[in-house]
Structure 1
Amino acid sequence: MEAAAALQDKASVTLKFKFNPKLGIDNPVLSLAEDHHDSSDPWNLKRPRFCLLSKEHGESFGFHLQHQLGRAGHVVCRVEPGSPAQLHGLRVGDRILAVNSNVVDHEDHGVVVGHIRASGPRVLLTVLAQHVYEVVRAQREDDADLCPLLGPGVRPRLCHVVKDQGGFGLSVTHGAQGPFWLVLSAGGAAERAGVPAGARLLEVNGVSVDKFTHSQLNRKLWQSGDQVTLLVAGPEVEDRCRQLGMPLAAPLAEGWALPAKPRRLHLEKGPQGFGFLLREEKGPDGRLGHFLWEVDPGLPAEAAGMQDGDRLVAVAGESVEGLSHEETVCRIRAQGPRVSLVVLDPQADRFFNMVRLSPLLFLENEDTAVSPQGPGSASLVESEDLSVEDTASSPSPAGPRQCLLYPGPGGGYGFRLSGVASGLCLFISQVTPGGSAARAGLATGDVVLEVNGCAMGGDNSPEKLQRLADAQPPLCLKLAARSRQNSEAWMSLGSGEDWAPTSL
């Protein structure tokens, strides 16, 4: 009896799976994902967690970010099953504290989405469970303690090393398998390229070497030819990340002696326009992109340094990755006569594609020139040639008017709706500066009469809006100026900006 009871007790114990590096994993189900945290106790996550997400071109990270009306902060409201977000530990209810090295806890929703979009194929999110956040926030006054970050200069480095007569000027600690540390030759190519002494080697040409064998690493370095790009972390960086529990993440890297970099161009429209064409086409790597062609001699585009074949990366500091041609043209037109663009020449484009990092992470700090937008800026553009005159309309006279909106890079239109209970009317309660709604001329207090031809108002307005939230763009609104006689309080019709959470 005692033996049977002992066997029963032993069977009730949950056994942890242990990976044997010699035998490997026979059952593929066991290798689908790692359980980074024990979810049985929701209070075991009192410290912020770090989620390093990676995606392929054309895909998403697989989570939705909700900006809660009336509350500060940004909360994950949905995580797609099997997505990078789910596989790397992001959870519904997580509060986003930082994106890469940027604290975003008190930033506007658009700023947070912009940081994530600008991070390209890889992003490091610092998160904290929402219920834990509320308790910790009530107990602390110092934001710095809540969101740990690497200090200035204490970050991984992306170093481009060009071989000289002494080779790359480095040797690798010998071991059967990574991790590897570097030993530098005094005055050698690696040292001149900014590789710190005793640095840990993380990536070679955008490929992680942590699980490489020594022979695989040597082969990778040999295949690089006369130049190689290394992601490294000095001893102080490695120690600090270990203290914080933070991964040595590539999106945190500083650039040292990089062979190419993004260029910021400031254009001021002349009598003959800007002097270039924007086309959506496949680049040399087969990916769709927005390319600049037919740069006219003597016009503002050429004077600003634009070259034929440059790829457009950002407009007014905001990434245009994933935007359609029409949306990108709208963004440029919305800046008015003064436009700020970030572009890459073909060599720089190939380089950042190889290292799998967004060029916007290495853009030199500079105030972006953004012209103020008037209330009548139209967002619909039919012409491909940006040298033609703008089609922005003048402000509409009193009475009903129609506005056509395209979604921004976060998927939203840049406004919030509220209503008056007794009047059964819908109003624009907030317009995001620089968003699609602002560019199309929406103003706080505008009455929404129709959405995509569907009349608003009445008891079922919230239900109508819920159905229209998934409508295909463009969004056509029929608006009227709000009557001054109606001064009743607004009631919120949704918890998030733009009706729907932002998909990332």
Structure 2
Amino acid sequence: MESAADLQDTASLTLKFEFNPKLGIDNPVLSLAEDHDPSDIRSLERPRFCLLSKEEGRSFGFHLQQELGRARHVVCRVEPGTSAQRQGLREGDRILGVNNHVVEHEDSEVVIRRIQASGPRVLLTVWAQHVLDVARALQGNDALLCPILGPEVRPRLCHIVKDEGGFGFTVTHEHRGSFWLVLSTGGAAERAGVPPGARLLEVNGVSVEKFTHNQLSKKLWQSGEQVTLLVAGPEVEEKCRQLGMPLAAPLAEGWALPTKPRCLHLEKGPQGFGFVLREEKGLDGRLGQFLWEVDPGLPAERAGMQAGDRLVAVAGDSVEGLSHEETVSRIRAQGSCVSLTVVDPEADRFFSMVRLSPLLFLESTEVCGSPQDTCSASLVEIKHPPVEDPAMPPVPVGSRQCFLYPGPGGGYGFRLSCAASGPRLFISQVTLGGSAAQAGLQRGDVILEVNGYPVGGEIDLERLKQLAEAEPPLCLKLATRSPQGLEAWIPSGSGKDWALASDLL
């Protein structure tokens, strides 16, 4: 239900099409009411960026709803007095981006997982619905609606350890909160990845935006022998200025971090996995799920689990805020092959200090996907659809090649399926952040060739497994299926992906 304010805004900002006789086409014309606020014109040029932060035990303060039958992620309620309200998130806003990911066409469950995995801070790219419709018609380029920062053009989280030359930088400033670093050649800061001329944004997870020079000097002195800085090089600062994007910590790349999350891939043995999961308070007083009683010689120890590790994700999905029973249920749901993301006490303290989720830094370390990615036996899955399922639609003309390298657990991050009556293999599942996703594989892609061998109607499963186990990279020749054909061939199962759902985040 649209509010009166929404209806008024929509009425005052409309798009009309007028015929241009010189061009012979209809041109979009923005029509403004007499009482229209001129600032709305500027709102058509770029999205709004909402940097949300939540306190311990609290949510960001908004409810996310997926519209029935559409991949549209709509804010349906904003709680008063929360970070979401303070940062200008409004009911009816469409979320197009989470941190540095475009999510407009992702499933609602994936978007929710991305937000939860962001930890205590998240950057949302949003548009008011009526403004988005006009901007899309005027711009004609969806990339401008949800800009992202490319590799090497993102803020950096750099951990610096003092040497005989100190931290290896001096600070210059113009006024309160504006600090730049001058690096010593070959010094500790340069080795830790701090770029020349970098702007200083945070020290040990604390913003310096309101610091005086004396306060900054004291903060650095209190850091002792090591310090973690959030910085942005000149090109990053200029790019964000052009986009109107904040230099936000959730966008950061990790450089020379002292510790990192670990991905453990376990395959159940005759005596089980060999560990005990307990809910207890951590070093900072937060309730969490901790791993104890790691039995020598069993799968957990062989995978690298250490007593006292804290569990942060199961199959790549954050378990933050879940009860002990819910976490155990998620582990059991993975079956005999389980992927766990954990942090040891040192890593737990570090990521708590910088107020960022360790899951944000999996891309720069290692990817922990679903159990299907870790067990080579489940790479190929035969599906026998009901007799009444429609015939597989023809593969469209055109193909592309993708080269994949296995992840830490030996898997490629996708699930391969075929139909008993269908002529071809297709991708039925792609793990978020896995090798396949990074190479551009999409659900519904049809496999034409594997390592140069054509895939026809007669499928030799043993041959496919041998090809998958060959020396990497795995080379796939793919054709993209139309969304209509995909939904006809891969049923949505329970239909929950299309359900009208609202989740508090």
Q: Could you say which TM-score interval applies, normalised by the shorter chain? A: 0.5 to 0.7
State the TM-score, normalizing by the size of structure 2. Answer: 0.66
Match of 1:91 in 2: 90
**8 Å CA contact 1:336, 1:371 repeated in 2:** no
Match of 1:114 in 2: 113
Q: CA deviation at 1:43?
A: 5.9
Q: 2:43 aligns with which of 45, 54, 74?
A: 45
Which secondary structure does the structure 2 equivalent of 1:336 belong to?
coil
Give the unaligned 5+ runs of structure 1: 1-37, 373-431, 435-493
Equivalent AA in structure 2 for residue 370 of structure 1: P
Q: Between the two proteins, what is the percent identity of the paired residues?
A: 74
Q: CA deviation at 1:280?
A: 0.5
What is the CA–CA distance in structure 2 between the aligned matches of 1:239 and 1:133, rounded to whole Å? Answer: 25
Match of 1:349 in 2: 348
Which secondary structure does the structure 1 equivalent of 2:371 belong to?
coil
Match of 1:280 in 2: 279
**8 Å CA contact 1:233, 1:248 repeated in 2:** yes
Match of 2:156 in 1: 157
Equivalent AA in structure 2 for residue 200 of structure 1: R
In the superposition, relative to structure 1, how do residues 105 and 58 fare at CA in structure 2: closer, same or farther (>3 Å)? same
Q: CA deviation at 1:135?
A: 3.0
**8 Å CA contact 1:66, 1:496 repeated in 2:** no
Q: Pick which of 68-77 and 223-232 moved more.
A: 68-77
C-alpha deviations, 1:119-150, integer Å up to 9, x for none?
Answer: 00000000011112223334555321221111
Q: CA deviation at 1:232?
A: 0.3
Q: CA deviation at 1:73?
A: 1.4
Q: CA deviation at 1:369?
A: 3.5
Tell me how large the CA RMSD over aligned residues is.
2.3
Match of 1:167 in 2: 166
Equivalent AA in structure 1 for residue 317 of structure 2: E
Q: CA deviation at 1:106?
A: 0.3
State yes or no: 1:189 paired with 2:213. no
Q: Pick which of 319-328 and 43-52 moved more.
A: 43-52
**8 Å CA contact 1:274, 1:299 repeated in 2:** yes
Q: CA deviation at 1:496?
A: 9.2
In the superposition, relative to structure 1, how do residues 365 and 298 fare at CA in structure 2: closer, same or farther (>3 Å)? closer
State the TM-score, normalizing by the size of structure 1. Answer: 0.66
In the superposition, relative to structure 1, how do residues 295 and 40 fare at CA in structure 2: closer, same or farther (>3 Å)? farther
Equivalent AA in structure 2 for residue 290 of structure 1: Q
Which secondary structure does the structure 2 equivalent of 1:183 belong to?
strand
Match of 1:135 in 2: 134
What is the CA–CA distance in structure 1 between the aligned matches of 2:497 and 2:74, rounded to whole Å? Answer: 10
State yes or no: 1:358 paired with 2:357. yes
Match of 2:231 in 1: 232
In the superposition, relative to structure 1, how do residues 72 and 295 fare at CA in structure 2: closer, same or farther (>3 Å)? same
Count of paired positions = 349
C-alpha deviations, 1:198-218, integer Å up to 9, x for none?
Answer: 000000000001110111000
Q: Pick which of 176-185 and 218-227 moved more.
A: 176-185
Match of 2:324 in 1: 325
In the superposition, relative to structure 1, how do residues 145 and 174 fare at CA in structure 2: closer, same or farther (>3 Å)? closer
- Superposition map of 1:6-85 within 5 A: 45-46=43-44, 47-85=46-84
C-alpha deviations, 1:264-319, integer Å up to 9, x for none?
Answer: 00000000000000000001111000000000000000000000000000000000
Match of 1:501 in 2: 502
**8 Å CA contact 1:279, 1:291 repeated in 2:** yes
Equivalent AA in structure 1 for residue 225 of structure 2: D
What is the CA–CA distance in structure 1 between the aligned matches of 2:173 and 2:227, rounded to whole Å? Answer: 20
**8 Å CA contact 1:316, 1:370 repeated in 2:** yes
Q: CA deviation at 1:81?
A: 1.0
Give the unaligned 5+ runs of structure 2: 1-35, 374-428, 432-494
What is the CA–CA distance in structure 1 between the aligned matches of 2:142 and 2:254, rounded to whole Å? Answer: 28
**8 Å CA contact 2:340, 2:368 repeated in 1:** no
What is the CA–CA distance in structure 2 between the aligned matches of 1:497 and 1:291, rounded to whole Å? Answer: 35
Which secondary structure does the structure 2 equivalent of 1:349 belong to?
helix
In the superposition, relative to structure 1, how do residues 293 and 105 fare at CA in structure 2: closer, same or farther (>3 Å)? same
What is the CA–CA distance in structure 1 between the aligned matches of 2:240 and 2:76, rounded to whole Å? Answer: 28
Which secondary structure does the structure 2 equivalent of 1:215 belong to?
helix
What is the CA–CA distance in structure 2 between the aligned matches of 1:319 and 1:42, rounded to whole Å? Answer: 38
What is the CA–CA distance in structure 1 between the aligned matches of 2:135 and 2:214, rounded to whole Å? Answer: 48
What is the CA–CA distance in structure 1 between the aligned matches of 2:222 and 2:162, rounded to whole Å? Answer: 13
Equivalent AA in structure 1 for residue 186 of structure 2: G
Equivalent AA in structure 1 for residue 74 of structure 2: V
In the superposition, relative to structure 1, how do residues 499 and 239 fare at CA in structure 2: closer, same or farther (>3 Å)? closer
In the superposition, relative to structure 1, how do residues 74 and 270 fare at CA in structure 2: closer, same or farther (>3 Å)? same
